[in-house]
Chain A
Amino acid sequence: MSEDNNELLPDLDLRLTESNPDDLYDRAPCGYCSCLPDGTLVRLNQTLLGWLGYRREELVARRCLQELFTIGGQLHYETHGAPLLLLQDQVRELSYSLRCKDGRMRPVLLNAVLVRTAEGQPLVIQATLFDITERRKYEQELLRTKQLAEEQREQLARANEQLVSKNEQLTRINADLDSFVYTASHDLKQPIDNMAGLFEELKSAATFHDPQAAPMLTMFEGALRQILSTIQGLTEVVQQQRALEQLPAEEVALQSFTEDIIRGLQPMYAPYATPFVLDFGAVPTLRMARSSLHSMLYNLLSNALKYAMPGRAPHIRVSTEAAGDRVVLVVQDNGRGIDLTRHSKELFQLFRRFHPDVEGSGMGLYLVNRLVHQVGGQVEVDSTVDQGTTFRIYLPR
């Protein structure tokens, strides 16, 4: 092995290998000191003396190592450092600050070993001190940042608490509102039913002489029907909401499910043969609570019939498409269409209606939108006035 090394050696300056160990002790890039077991300084190197600014004779046999620390450091040393040193004969990386003669502080890390006599009695402490001025700055910065992070975490926790309580409040208000709507519609239904019955009685029993009476009776009847349908719609909205909170989602086969709904709609398209074309080839089933799916499809399909273009045979295509992790249910009609540039924002609002000449409660699309959102989906509408409307319902698989 020596031959290889010999060839390298001429490149080194041999004077480096002859440096004096005493010189190394005195001028090492760290502080060295030896102390009696009580900390009394007996020997210090030049580096340490230079840091402290004291002359050797001011310290040796006169001062203890721990007295050079801040009072807080001294407290730490007496309660932690010294006991540890006596218990395990060494301490490592204790962080203190040296108080120099001119009052300046020098942050240091202390490593020390306790040397014992052959009988096991403490004899001398050998200590090494490393200057960590820059490192201490980083540590202070770390401590500050940590404190800041903790404060911010507390603020965040407080904000979150407020949010949770606001959310609870909103949920409560929402439930109260549903409850109110349900009660109101229920309480209104009975007197309106009575009014309708009384009106029938009145029509058959009373005789009107005013020529305007007949159209007025028709208008009154229309208004009664309207109010009954509104109340019916309100009740449905609330019932759907309640049902949603309880009913489990299930895999529903779309073909037979939709055909059942269409059979129920038959009176609405009676003069024509079925205007519906179904194509569920791409995605034949949907995962949803049956009643929600029924309500959604019923409203979309009956709307398509209701708002058919007068004088034009309705043509309605119902289909599914796969779109990544979602399913799209498409309902496309050739009806009157909606002016989306004017009405797009109000489309799904409760009681909002766009074709006053057609009977309706203004609740269908509101309900559809609500049901779709509840299962985590969304509704897209595309429409051209006088040409038709396409609803695209995006649902999670």
Chain B
Amino acid sequence: MHVVERHNVTVSGAGSQAMVFVHGFGCDQRMWRQVAPAFEADYRVVLLDLVGAGHSDLTAYDPARYSTLQAHVEDMLEVLQALDLHDAVFVGHSVSAMIGVLAALREPARIARLVLVAPSPRFINDADYTGGFEPADIEELLEAMDNNYLGWSGAMAPVIMGHPDRPALTQELEASFCSTDPAIARHFARVTFLADNRADLPRLHTPALILQCAQDALAPVAVGRYVHRQLPNSQLVVLDTSGHCPHLSAPEATIAAIRQFMTVVRMPGV
């Protein structure tokens, strides 16, 4: 299967520069629907699903390969290559913010700017670092997922069986918004919440915008500040909203902050 189909890539908008929006754990590309259209007038807007999420090719999810973020990083670079994109703006939410950082380190020419939406380089607390969670909390999340999938399994079937184009299934699909194969979700949760990419941050010189929610239980302000300190060429904007998804809870503020970042030619102090 071609990489574009594998990731359910959709391209819209006009412009010489591309903006690539990548969702985080728990949802898919549809979570950008209140933000991405705002950039279609000036940019080529690229939306995609990570392998294992949304309408991506679920059969491509090999747990052994996707046991670290590196496989997702390779996937993103493959998409950029397939679309022949250079100097793109990579907008990544949560775990995909880190995927963006790793991709920019790997092939700097492809990514000119990074927008890190609610990033966290490590969710688990460590000596001299507060990620916000203990390993036991992650086990509890997996348990909560298990409990929820009991109820989902029926609604999930159409997605798993892969008939996304059949109109008769639209209703079920709506019901299964942001859900995917339970085994994949469980695996991806582990990979997401046990990742540690703190050491990668200081190596990055790509200009980056950190969009931090004022109240975020998953990625608290302290974590946003940490990312800002560790990224040499970054700018921190704290949005007056709560939760982990500013692109859903405060889409206008999110759009405005990204626009502001794109118009600044050089970062202050660089």
Contacts and interface: CB of A to CB of B under 8 A. Distances in A.
A69 B145 CA distance: 13
A342 B263 CA distance: 104
B218 A78 contact: yes
A150 B205 CA distance: 48
A79 B26 contact: yes
A307 interface: no
A37 to B, nearest CB: 7
Given A72-B139, A79-B25, A139-B150, A86 B248 contact: yes
A2 B243 CA distance: 53
Contacts of B133: 71, 75
B137 A71 contact: yes
Given A38-B215, A84-B178, A88-B174, A76 B242 contact: no
B142 interface: yes
Contact of A83 (B26, B137, B141): B26
A87 B30 contact: yes
B217 A95 contact: no
A361 interface: no
Interface in A81-98: 82-84, 86-88, 93-97
B141 A80 contact: no
B31 interface: yes
A93 B151 contact: yes
A281 to B, nearest CB: 58
A97 B140 CA distance: 11
A37 B249 CA distance: 8
A74 B217 contact: yes
Given A93-B151, A139-B150, A142-B150, A82 B144 contact: no
B264 to A, nearest CB: 29
A298 to B, nearest CB: 58
B146 interface: yes
B139 A38 contact: no
7 contacts: A38-B241, A38-B249, A72-B140, A73-B140, A83-B178, A97-B144, A107-B147
Q: 10 nearest interchain CB pairs?
A: A72-B140, A79-B26, A38-B242, A86-B248, A72-B141, A71-B137, A95-B147, A75-B141, A76-B144, A80-B26
Interface of B: 24-27, 30-31, 33, 94, 133, 137-148, 150-151, 174, 177-178, 193, 215-218, 241-245, 248-249
Given A73-B141, A83-B31, 13 more contacts: A70-B140, A71-B137, A71-B140, A72-B137, A72-B139, A74-B217, A76-B141, A76-B148, A80-B148, A82-B245, A82-B249, A93-B151, A96-B144
Interface of A: 37-39, 66, 69-76, 78-80, 82-84, 86-88, 93-97, 107, 109, 122, 136, 139, 142-143
